[in-house]
Amino acid sequence: MTHLVVVGASLAGLRAVEAVRRDGFDGDVTLVGAEEHLPYDRPPLSKEYLSADEIADPRYREEETFAGDLDVELVLGTPATALDSAARTVAVGERTLSYDGLVIATGAHARVLPGTEDIAGVHTVRTLDDAIALRAALRAEHARRLTVVGAGFIGSEVAAVGRKLGLEVTILEALETPLARAVGERMGRALTHLHRRHGTEVRTGVAVEEVLAENGHVRGVRLGDGTEMATDVLVVGIGARPATEWLEGSGLTIDDGVVADETLAAAPGVYVAGDVARWPNALFTDVAEGTMRLEHWTSAADQGGRAARHAVDPAAATPYETVPYFWSDWYDGRVQFVGIAAGEDIEVVAGDDAQGGPFTAIYRAGDRIVGALAVDMPAEVMKYRRLIGGRKTWDDALELAEQRRRQREEKARQRAEGACT
């Protein structure tokens, strides 16, 4: 094993090269990225990066760290265009890189509304360049109305920023219940309350038929029922598609991501990590059939390290299983989810979901707890995450919920006593 190539210079790719160097791998390492930028953190791009007056540099590491401590050859601004998994080569611009081990960490691209690519004022949020453009648009003097297509997590975060900046905000969602697939129907309704409580209009069950433009700039949208809505800025938050276009003809199995086995192996010597990876997560195969692809920061970071370790030492590869975790910042609060939303039963174990929180809800599949959602209760979900990871029962989860309830009551009592003395 003399050359590890990592394609995709973002979170999973960075963690891949860092992990093998930390483990003492002393072969050559090349990190290839399509963007000109050094690896940077995406979550702030739909949050603080848009709302804060002073913006923090989102890059994870300085350029010198790659050449120095990490001893990694960086090839930026040049996408990989082909993989020959039999010859073990990757085409990158004019070069053909030979590898012994390969990590594919090419993430995903934002989905766009066809035909809107050249209309100014229509934005997606996936890259730093996207966020720079959107930040300017939201802060432009003429910007009064923001319309967000899609009530997913990123669209919701942008809507929250829009309100913070004083814009009139409308979310247009095709589904009757936003986020139903991600968190279930009832919790999707609870999260919608959160928007309405903060003055964001949410229109569900509506389709955008056409984006209307004047002099090359967006002026509104026409909906499925023929009505027109005016807007100054339009953000399209309709999900992401895995960046697999460069793998056509590679022989790898592509099916909404690169399909891998339980050790993240997609072919001999080829491992996948992050938003592009689809693999059977053994922790859930008994309750949710098939493979899983996550678009979460924590799993991309974690899988990056694991995939690279497996790539440099395939004989030591072991099944990768994880309890998915993501967070999302809406208005001044935090939404957190662990596990999967495949359960047939959802129980609110703390707070009240009717007004959009704070609350914690847990998800049941068979006799197991498989998921937990918390809104503005940051101390809760990690406790349930441990239960889910340990394949604990529903009764164990209810017992924990009762314990947590007593602890919160005791804390409240102590606070009240403190206030009286």
Ligand X SMILES: Cc1cc2nc3c(=O)[nH]c(=O)nc-3n(C[C@H](O)[C@H](O)[C@H](O)COP(=O)(O)OP(=O)(O)OC[C@H]3O[C@@H](n4cnc5c(N)ncnc54)[C@H](O)[C@@H]3O)c2cc1C
Confirm if 299 and 284 have CB atoms less than 8 A apart. Answer: no
Cβ-contact 8, 33 below 8 angstroms = yes
For ligand X, which is the closer residue by CB, 12 or 74?
Answer: 12
Record the tokens describing residue 42, joined without a space: 């995406």
Q: Compute how many other C-beta atoms are within 10 angstroms of the C-beta atom of residue 188.
A: 21
Q: Does 43 bind ligand X (CB under 6 A)?
A: yes
Q: Which of 369, 380, 374, 375 is nearest to 343 (CA)?
A: 369
- 269 part of the interface to ligand X, by CB under 6 A: no
By CB under 6 A, tell whether 72 contacts ligand X: no
**Cβ closest to ligand X, residue 125 vs residue 283:** 125
Query: Does 173 sit near ligand X (CB under 6 A)?
Result: no
Residue pair 237/124 in contact by the 8 Å Cβ criterion: yes
- How far apart are alpha carbons 252 and 84 in whole angstroms? 10
Closest contact distance (angstroms) between CB of 393 and ligand X is 27
243 binds ligand X (CB under 6 A): yes
Shortest distance in whole angstroms from residue 88 CB to ligand X: 17
Name the one range near ligand X by CB under 6 A: 18-26, 32-40, 190-198, 336-344. 32-40
For residue 21, give both structure tokens: 């160097």
Q: Is 275 in the site for ligand X (CB under 6 A)?
A: yes
In which residue are the tokens 């099916």 written?
Answer: 255
- 13 is a site residue for ligand X (CB under 6 A): yes
Binders in 352-381 for ligand X, by CB under 6 A:
none
CA angle 107, 110, 112 (to 5 degrees): 150
**Residues binding ligand X: what is the number (CB under 6 A)?**
36
> What minimum distance in Å lies between the beta carbon of 226 and ligand X?
32
Q: Of 32 and 221, which CB lies nearer to ligand X in the complex structure? A: 32
Q: What is the DSSP letter of 57?
A: P
**Torsion sign across C-alpha atoms 8, 26, 318, 386:** negative
Among 30, 46, 147, 231, binds ligand X (CB under 6 A): 46
| Shortest Å distance, C-beta 324 to ligand X | 9
Q: Which is nearer to ligand X, 43 or 351 (CB)?
A: 43
362: phi then psi, degrees, rounded to nearest 5: -120, 155
107 lines the binding site for ligand X (CB under 6 A): yes
271 near ligand X, judged by CB under 6 A: no
Which residues, numbered 174-193, are part of the site for ligand X (CB under 6 A)?
Answer: none
Nearer to ligand X, 40 or 284 (CB): 40
Residue 411, token pair as written in the block: 């804390």
Residues 294-353, interacting with ligand X (CB under 6 A): 295-298, 300, 326-328
Among residues 332, 327, 356, 337, which one has the least CA distance to residue 160? 332
Residue ranges of the alpha helices (H) in 87-246?
A: 128-139, 153-164, 180-183, 185-197
Binding site for ligand X (CB under 6 A): 7-13, 32-35, 42-43, 45-46, 79-80, 105-108, 125-126, 154, 243, 246, 274-275, 295-298, 300, 326-328
